[in-house]
Homo-oligomer: A and B are copies of this chain.
Amino acid sequence: MMKTFEKNIRRVTPYVPGEQPQRPVVKLNTNENPYPPAPGVEKVLHEMDAGQLRLYPDPTAASLVQELAAYYHVKPEQVFVGVGSDDVLAMCFLTFFNSEKPILFPDITYSFYKVWADLYRIPYECPKLQDDFRICKEDYYRENGGVIFPNPNAPTSLYENLDFVEDMVKHNPDVIVIVDEAYVDFAGPSAIGLLEKYENLIVTQTFSKARSMAGMRIGCAIASPLLIQYLNDAKYSFNSYTMNQTSILSGVEAVKDKDYFNAQVQKIVRTREWTAGELRKLGFVFPEPGANFIFAKHPDLDGTELYEALREKDIFVRHWEDERIRQYLRITIGTQEQMETLIAFLKTYSGLKKEENR
Interface residues of A (CB under 8 A from B): 3-17, 20, 27, 30, 32-37, 41-42, 45-59, 83-84, 86-87, 90, 94-99, 115-116, 118-119, 145-146, 173-176, 199-200, 208, 212-217, 226, 230, 232-234, 236-247, 250
Contacts and interface: CB of A to CB of B under 8 A. Distances in A.
A29 to B, nearest CB: 11
Contact of A234 (B10, B86, B215): B10
Nearest to A115: B237
B17 A32 contact: no
The dominant DSSP class at the A interface is loop
A112 B14 CA distance: 26
A11 to B, nearest CB: 7
Contacts of A174: 4-5, 7
Nearest to A237: B12
Contacts of A175: 5, 8
A37 B53 contact: yes
B95 A9 contact: yes
B238 A53 contact: no
Contact of A246 (B83, B236, B246): B246
B230 A9 contact: yes
A86 B240 contact: yes
Contacts of A230: 9-11
A212 B54 contact: yes
A268 to B, nearest CB: 12
Contacts of A244: 83, 215-217, 244, 246-247
A98 B238 CA distance: 17
Nearest to A8: B99
Contacts of A115: 237-238
A37 B10 contact: no
A13 to B, nearest CB: 7
Contacts of A35: 54
A51 B32 contact: no
Contact of A90 (B4, B30, B238, B246): B238
A86 B57 CA distance: 14
A212 B54 CA distance: 4
Nearest to A38: B50
A261 B46 CA distance: 23
B87 A242 contact: yes
Given A10-B95, A50-B42, A176 B5 contact: yes
A14 B145 CA distance: 24
A116 B238 contact: yes
Contacts of A6: 226
Given A17-B59, A57-B215, A48 B45 contact: yes
A147 to B, nearest CB: 11
A200 B40 CA distance: 47
The interface centre, meaning the residue of A11, A50, A118 with most chain B CB atoms within 10 A of its CB, is A50
